[in-house]
Amino acid sequence: MSTMSAVKPSAGPEPYVSHASLFETAKRYLTKTKSQELLLRSIILIFVYLLAFCIRLFSVLRYESVIHEFDPYFNYRSTINLVQDGFYEFWNWFDAESWHPLGRVVGGTVYPGLMFTAAILYKVSKFLTACIKLRDICVFTAPFFAGNTALIAYLFGKELKDMETGLVAAVLMAVVPGYISRSVAGSFDNEAVAIFALVTTFYLWVRAVNQGTIASAVLAAFAYLYMAASWGAYVFISNLIPLYVIIMFVSGRYSRRIYVAYTTFWAVGSLLAMQVRFIGFNHVTSNELLSFNGVFVGLQVWEALVFLRTKLGTKQFGQLLYLTAVAAGAVGAAGTAILVLSGKLNPWTGRFWTLLDPTYAKKFIPIVASVSEHQPTTWASYIFDLHVLVFAAPAGLYFCFKRPTDGTIFLTVFALTAIYFSGIMVRLMLVAAPAFVLLSAIAISSILQSASKELRAPAAAETKTSPVATRRGRGSTSNEENITTKKSTNLIILGLTFLAMWSYSSHSIWVTSEAYSSPSIVLISGWGPHRVVLDDFREAYYWLRHNTAPDAKVMSWWDYGYQITAMGNRTVIVDNNTWNNTHIATVGRAMASNETEAYKIMRQLDVDYALVIFGGLSGYSSDDINKFLWMVRIGGGVFPVIKESDYLANGDYTVSSRGTQTMLNSLMYKLSYYDFGNIMTEHGKGTGYDRVRNYEIGKKDIQLDHLYEAFTSEHWIVRIYRVKDLENRF
Amino acid sequence: MPRLSSLEELRPSPRLICVLVLVSYFFVTAGIAYDIINEPPAVGGQTDPVTGAVKPMTFMPYRLNGQFILEGLSGGFFYTLGGVGIILLDLSRDKNQSVLFRNVYLALGLAITILSYLVCMVFIRIKMPGYMR
């Protein structure tokens, strides 16, 4: 107890006394509104972080901490390589275990940001003697960065409008299902860190534009480096920021701050992004970054013109302007023509062409069209992935138009492009999610602010206006009342917002739990005592690992390449990187040909084992027979010998007795249904009843001449066949 | 620069741009890209097992990655309508309007917002019967 408690709290600022007790200090701070606000804000942000982390842990809690899907296995293998062999080995890594016999230059064809992040986290945790296993670090990288993204969303909202918007943005970002879908625990993929880098780059860019200093722009360039190192969608940033500059110019809001920010960002950002081996000089020669470089040149020209105008007179300046415009136009056109004709300017890659012309991939690049994530979006994906944000986003756009600032114009441009792209490809819903979150944060925060301001105001207004009202009579009291809406209306609005947020969070939790938490390497169905776990994939890959020669080569469809290399530790022919279309087409041709032709191709490729995924016994519907038409299309795209019409009976794709002979004799059919004709799968149906296609198969007694069955997993999901050696001549 | 000041008159008003943005939002969220690429029918048909007659089926069931054209358009329409409702709520706070307009905006805004949300919930429950269970 100290004697200073005699000081009255209402008499100005309290004198600082160093020997006050803890209780006294706490009370003194907690009674100030500013401290209360700080405490509330900190508690909210801590809870937001914890929420963002914990909501992504469903699959870990339900099953185990395992890496999901296909691409993360390659990232995991690369991280192991980085941690074990060191930085230089990883940077110069040539992987001979995939794309046999071509190999893959991993160091130059991978975005290393994710691997470096995981390796740094691993080293840091080892240094702090926490010693977390590398696999667990990889599994939990995504939720960790999701929490960071929520905090950056807070900073971004604060920069765009005010602190309340930031808090709403953080809360919405923590649980938005569109982001959760690619960042659950176990989804060790580029997007896990790339979305964090994207939002950080945008936040730092808006901050740089608002401040107009070189230091802030350099910081934004470093965030751009992180984005360029992490994901191929860095071209989105490098096209969006020039587009923003152009729009600001056209709408008359160009200022010196934008010039400083963009020039510094271009210079430092380009140099940094070129350090990534995969990008290299593409950053200045590629068509995809033409606007990035072009706007830089344009800005310098503009500022030079403005500078010259202040130095010369009007007439001279007019002449100079005319000459320069003509010369620049001629040089620009000629230069572009020469570069395009000589092939120096690299063309747009197919993935990005699809964004401008959605029908491009369907017509020209079957591999890009076959990826399920590249399909266009339906209306239901919006409400499923965004729930109430889908209603609040147009309102947010209205608020941005109502009071445009530099930051909100940037947000509008970002949101419009992101929403358009999300309509074209389902995968890009992930990029649109932060845009929706920020727009909705602006809308919701504005609604809450205006409602609560009016709820707080009448208490003060009544005491002030009552003497006025009594002087002026009844007419003015009704005037005063009408300027603020009734208290009940504001309470209704607050209540509705609360209900909307409640339903948003319960929807997000349900969606995460049901739809986005499946570790697709393990198939789980049922609840409690009826839970069935199909662990066939890992069973088969570990069989491969333990029971085949170390230099055995495995041929499978490209979907499973990463998993086979990572878990089975064997060389594969094609994998998910899909960089060589002809190689994939060769494998597709082998799968689609009859056994003798396929055997020739397999001997050429030096294949020892063939692996197929078969769902007919278990009901697993993403099996190779369902993907077979894509194999035919891709194979037929390179080898005209394979014609899609040969495999369709009257335009129908079927493996029943109506199926064509080419289909029933193909290697894929034989490998999938070998020995299946003797199995009774369902009561009341004949043998060989396929539980995915829901009919009996066409040919039931299958003989294999050049392969023999080596392994079939417990539920027949993975089937591995050994390719026989050539026959003895004597 | 003297020539640029005439651009001010050419520049469209923010209100017009906002309306255009909302119209494009409607089209994008209605799944227009899916309609162009996959060309689904306007409505599907469901054969009644007893009579053999074909009943029109408006929502493609059990799949989030497939839609019919009308289904997409109605979904996108209600998303935009919900946004318009919130905009109306904010317009009702404009102090320069008369009382009648403000009250109308308020009532209309509340009604439209609540209606859009409820209708979208009904739609998603028709499309995915296992929703929230």
A281 is written with which tokens? 């000089």
Write down the pLDDT at residue A73: 93
Contacts of A372 in chain B (CB under 8 A): 65
Write down the pLDDT at residue B9: 63
Nearest Cβ partner for B99 among A375, A420, A482: A482
Write down the pLDDT at residue A291: 87
Percentage, residues of chain A above pLDDT 90: 51
Q: State phi, psi for B47 to the nearest 5 degrees.
A: -80, 125
Whether residue A481 is predicted with pLDDT greater than 50 in this model: the reply is: no
- Which residues of chain B form beta strands (DSSP E)? 44-47, 54-57
Whether residue A474 is predicted with pLDDT greater than 60 in this model: the reply is: no
Could you read off the pLDDT of A711-730 as tens digits, one per residue? 999 999 999 999 998 888 76
With an 8 Å Cβ cutoff, is A3 touching chain B? Answer: no
Percentage, residues of chain A above pLDDT 70: 89
Q: Band of the pLDDT at A356, cuts 50, 70, 90?
A: low
Contact A391 B95 (CB under 8 A): no
Whether residue A458 is predicted with pLDDT greater than 70 in this model: the reply is: no
Taking alpha carbons only, the member of A578, A648, A591, A654 closest to residue A366 is: A578
Contacts of B126 in chain A (CB under 8 A): none
Write down the pLDDT at residue A700: 86
Give A587: exposed, middle or buried? Use CB within 10 Å, 0-12, 13-18, 19+.
buried
Distance from CA of A398 to the nearest CA of B (A): 7
Write down the pLDDT at residue A730: 66
Average pLDDT estimate for A500-508: 94
Average pLDDT estimate for A234-253: 91
pTM: 0.87
Length of chain B measured in residues? 133
Please name the residue of chain B whose CA is at the shortest distance from the CA of residue A361: B37
Looking at per-residue pLDDT, the higher value among A29 and A482 belongs to A29
Task: Return d(Cα A715, Cα A521) in angstroms, integer.
Answer: 14
Looking at per-residue pLDDT, the higher value among A384 and A457 belongs to A384
Task: Return d(Cα A426, Cα A452) in angstroms, integer.
Answer: 38
Write down the pLDDT at residue A603: 92
**ipTM score:** 0.91
Contact B28 A423 (CB under 8 A): yes
Nearest Cβ partner for B72 among A379, A388, A493: A379
Nearest Cβ partner for B90 among A358, A422, A446: A446
Average pLDDT, chain A: 86
Whether residue A197 is predicted with pLDDT greater than 80 in this model: the reply is: yes
Write down the pLDDT at residue A163: 92
Write down the pLDDT at residue A374: 77
Nearest Cβ partner for B22 among A390, A394, A412: A394
Whether residue B117 is predicted with pLDDT greater than 50 in this model: the reply is: yes
Average pLDDT estimate for A99-113: 89
Please name the residue of chain B whose CA is at the shortest distance from the CA of residue A489: B106
Contact A395 B25 (CB under 8 A): no
Is A104:A579 a contact under the CB 8 Å cutoff? Answer: yes
Contacts of B3 in chain A (CB under 8 A): none
Contacts of B132 in chain A (CB under 8 A): 506-507, 510
Average pLDDT estimate for A456-465: 58
Lowest mean pLDDT among A494-503, B50-59, B106-115: B50-59
Give A345: exposed, middle or buried? Use CB within 10 Å, 0-12, 13-18, 19+.
middle
Whether residue B49 is predicted with pLDDT greater than 50 in this model: the reply is: yes
Nearest Cβ partner for B30 among A379, A395, A399: A379
Q: What three-state secondary structure class fits A593?
A: coil
Contacts of B62 in chain A (CB under 8 A): none
Give first-to-last CA distance, chain B, whole Å.
64
Average pLDDT estimate for A308-333: 78
Distance from CA of B45 to the nearest CA of A (A): 19
Is A206:A434 a contact under the CB 8 Å cutoff? Answer: no
Write down the pLDDT at residue B28: 93
Could you read off the pLDDT of A505-564 as tens digits, one per residue? 999 999 998 888 888 888 887 777 888 888 999 999 999 999 999 999 999 999 899 999
Nearest Cβ partner for B83 among A372, A393, A485: A393
CA atoms A705, A706, A711, A715: torsion sign: negative
Give A498: exposed, middle or buried? Use CB within 10 Å, 0-12, 13-18, 19+.
exposed
Distance from CA of B2 to the nearest CA of A (A): 11
Task: Return d(Cα B79, Cα B65) in angstroms, integer.
Answer: 18
Distance from CA of B7 to the nearest CA of A (A): 9
Average pLDDT estimate for A367-396: 85
| Rg of chain B over all Cα atoms, to the nearest angstrom | 21
Q: What three-state secondary structure class fits A263?
A: helix
With an 8 Å Cβ cutoff, is A322 touching chain B? Answer: no
Average pLDDT estimate for B8-24: 84
Contact A394 B83 (CB under 8 A): yes
Taking alpha carbons only, the member of A664, A673, A623, A677 closest to residue A685 is: A677
Nearest Cβ partner for A381 among B21, B64, B89: B64
Distance from CA of B50 to the nearest CA of A (A): 22
Whether residue A471 is predicted with pLDDT greater than 70 in this model: the reply is: no
Could you read off the pLDDT of A589-622 as tens digits, one per residue? 999 998 999 999 999 999 999 999 998 888 888 8
Average pLDDT estimate for B45-62: 83
Average pLDDT estimate for A659-684: 88
- Cα dihedral angle (A152, A158, A159, A160), rounded to 10 degrees? 110
Contact B64 A384 (CB under 8 A): yes
Greatest mean pLDDT range, A289-293, A437-441, B47-51: A437-441
**Chain A, window 401-460: residues with a beta carbon less than 8 angstroms from a chain B beta carbon:** 401-402, 404, 412, 416, 419-420, 422-424, 426, 443, 446-447, 450
Could you read off the pLDDT of A23-33 as tens digits, one per residue? 888 888 788 88
* β-sheet bridge partners, residue A532: A525
Q: Band of the pLDDT at A479, cuts 50, 70, 90?
A: very low
